[in-house]
Amino acid sequence: MPHPADPYEGDDLDDLPPPQPVHFAEQALLGALLLEPHRLDTIGRLAPDHFGNHAHGALFGAMHTVPAPNPKQHTKDTAWLSAVLAKARPEAPGLTASYLHTLIQSCPRPQHATAYAGMIRADHARRTLREHADRLCQSATDTTLPNPAATVLAQTDALSHYLDELATHFAAHPGSLPRTPSSPPPPRGTGEEALDEERLLLATATAHPDGLHLMRWLQPEDFTLPLHGQLYRCLTALARRGAAVDPVTVLWEAQHQQLLTAEFAPADLMALVSDPVGSPDYWGERILRRALLGQAHAVGLRLGVLTNDQANTVHQLITGSRRALAGLSAIRVRWQHATSPAPQSRPPRTESTAAPRAGPPRTTAPPPPTARLTR
């Protein structure tokens, strides 16, 4: 957000974007504090990095460093203003004494300083949430990461923790759902590598169907090509019924599911599921990881759309972000189930063959038998 203290690196000054509303809130707050420094103790939790404008943040930090002036003396001279300016200039060389007077003139009501500070905190929350979204998108699409799934999940945890932190500082209010329309999810990448992995999964699962009942962590919607997901559903349906599984039975099941077309003939299906390599678990994990990364990328894009909509309040951003994370959390549970080591089964309990232990010795005589009454 440009202002007189910020350099502009463009060639045409007419192309400067207009200042955002938070720019005027920052000016109003700094003007209020320059006029009445004692209000620094009344504006609540605020730090220099909460300001979107670097020079404004440096000036705010200098106010906390320079001792507060005597209120009566402050109305008679500008010694405190000069000291604050001198302290802030090493961090923001563009600051001038005339800009401090501009800030003072930009404050409508010094007594509204707390409200201005709240606006700055809200905009900082929006910017920080956008940074989390950008990092999530970057980690989900970075092919150089040694363990992209772990990186994405760590970034997701950081995002969730930040949302929890925001919820403690910004109260809920009616109409908490964001009004930003939902954009369609980005198209799943259908590169040749992804398609090859899905073909190999179908072929190996057809050749080794015994473990399909243990692969419930993989769902048809995880496949990049819908047809492959539907064929996987045919395989799991056969396995669940305890039916025979081989290329011919898969073909028969696919016919009942209306998957055969002019572009996908019976011979194509037979060729697809007849060349197994490796194990189903291996290819299934790769497919699920690709689905996890794709969902994380979609969540990051959704959060970017939400934070770019200035109409959303912080609480609406919190609610919308948590809703977007719900789908990612579901895939995360399945991913953890797929990659966790199988629990070791307990050894079966055996009945003891030792003689039973004798009970404690009886210290009293047994009661006499009850006599039957006879006529």
Instruction: Identify the band that residue 171 occupies on the pLDDT scale cut at 50, 70 and 90.
Output: confident
Averaged pLDDT for residues 51-66: 96
pLDDT of amino acid 41: 92
Q: Are 217 and 288 in contact (CB under 8 A)?
A: yes
Fold identical between 13-108 and 124-178+191-339?
Answer: yes
- Reference 302, options 127, 158, 134, 124; nearest CA is 134
pLDDT of amino acid 161: 97
Distance CA 296, CA 186 (A): 11
pLDDT of residue 67 exceeding 60, the answer is yes
The CATH class of 13-108 is mainly alpha
Distance CA 327, CA 299 (A): 9
pTM value? 0.81
Structure tokens at 101: 């007077």
CB neighbours of 116 closer than 8 A, spacing ≥ 6?
Answer: 25, 26, 28, 29, 32, 43
Tell me the per-residue pLDDT of 81-138, one tens digit each, with 9 for 90 and over: 999 999 999 999 999 999 999 999 999 999 999 999 999 999 999 999 999 999 999 9
Residue 328's SS3 state is: helix
Tell me the per-residue pLDDT of 230-274, one tens digit each, with 9 for 90 and over: 999 999 999 999 999 999 999 999 999 999 999 999 999 999 999
Tell me what the pLDDT averaged over the chain comes to.
87
pLDDT of amino acid 8: 42
Helix (H) or strand (E) holding 204: helix 192-207
Residue 79's SS3 state is: helix
CB neighbours of 107 closer than 8 A, spacing ≥ 6?
Answer: 27, 28, 29, 30, 31, 32, 35
- Half-sphere exposure at residue 22, Cβ-oriented, CA atoms within 13 angstroms: 21
Domain ranges in the chain are 13-108, 124-178+191-339
Fold observed for domain 124-178+191-339: DNAb Helicase; Chain A (1.10.860)
Q: State which amino acid sits at residue 239.
A: A
How far the first Cα of the chain sits from its last, in Å, is: 113
pLDDT of residue 362 exceeding 90, the answer is no
Q: How many residues does the chain have?
A: 375
Residue 172's SS3 state is: coil
